[in-house]
């Protein structure tokens, strides 16, 4: 399988640990928990990229400007058809939507096909999540998003994702 690329946000190690611990009691036998180092929020999936498309994606990362912001993970749910357990914010921060919009504009300017589905922020906690009753998420987990990441998925390794390129988000001042 070829590398599949995406823009995303990665939690700091302490937040990833809290998210993984919070997910543990919600994951039934038979479901596959995400590795704590794989926890991330996808902003825009790109798929397989040839070297020119990868350079174009890097250029978008180099030029997109956005401020850091806080994510408030206060709910859990499941995508039944995809058999995915997820957590996410009830209210999507405006700064997150602005970042996604800026990425989309930059990618379109580089020739990438625009995403047509509305953006729905979520963090995948487990796959193969079937037929289980969803437990209570509990108090919100806050996460300060401070960097944009261009990552690739690598089949057959753990952790599965590699953050190949990173860009700091601004601090608003």
Q: pLDDT by residue (tens digit) across 26-77?
A: 999 899 999 999 999 999 999 999 999 999 999 999 999 999 999 999 999 9
What domains are there in the chain, each with its CATH number? 4-168 (3.90.1140.10)
Q: How does pLDDT run across 76-132, given as a tens digit for each residue? A: 999 989 999 999 999 999 999 999 999 999 999 999 999 999 999 999 999 999 866
Q: Strand, helix or coil at 4?
A: strand
Q: Exposed, middle or buried: residue 127 (CB in 10 Å: 0-12, 13-18, 19+)? A: middle
């Amino acid at each position: 399988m070829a590398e599949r690329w995406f823009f995303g946000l990665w939690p700091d190690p302490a937040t990833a640990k809290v998210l993984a611990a919070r997910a543990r009691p919600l994951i039934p036998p038979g479901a596959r928990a995400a590795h704590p180092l794989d926890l991330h929020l996808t902003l825009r999936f790109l798929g397989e990229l040839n070297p020119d498309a990868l350079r174009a994606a890097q250029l978008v990362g180099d030029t997109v400007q956005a401020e850091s912001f806080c994510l408030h993970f206060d709910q859990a749910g499941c995508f039944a058809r995809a058999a995915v357990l997820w957590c996410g914010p009830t209210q999507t921060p405006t700064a997150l939507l602005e970042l996604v919009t800026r990425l989309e504009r930059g990618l379109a300017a580089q020739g990438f096909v625009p995403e047509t589905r509305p953006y729905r922020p979520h963090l995948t906690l487990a796959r193969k999540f079937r037929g289980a009753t969803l437990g209570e998420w509990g108090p919100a987990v806050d996460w300060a998003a401070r960097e944009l990441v261009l990552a690739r998925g690598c089949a057959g390794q753990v952790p599965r994702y590699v953050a190949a390129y990173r860009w700091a988000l601004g601090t608003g001042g």
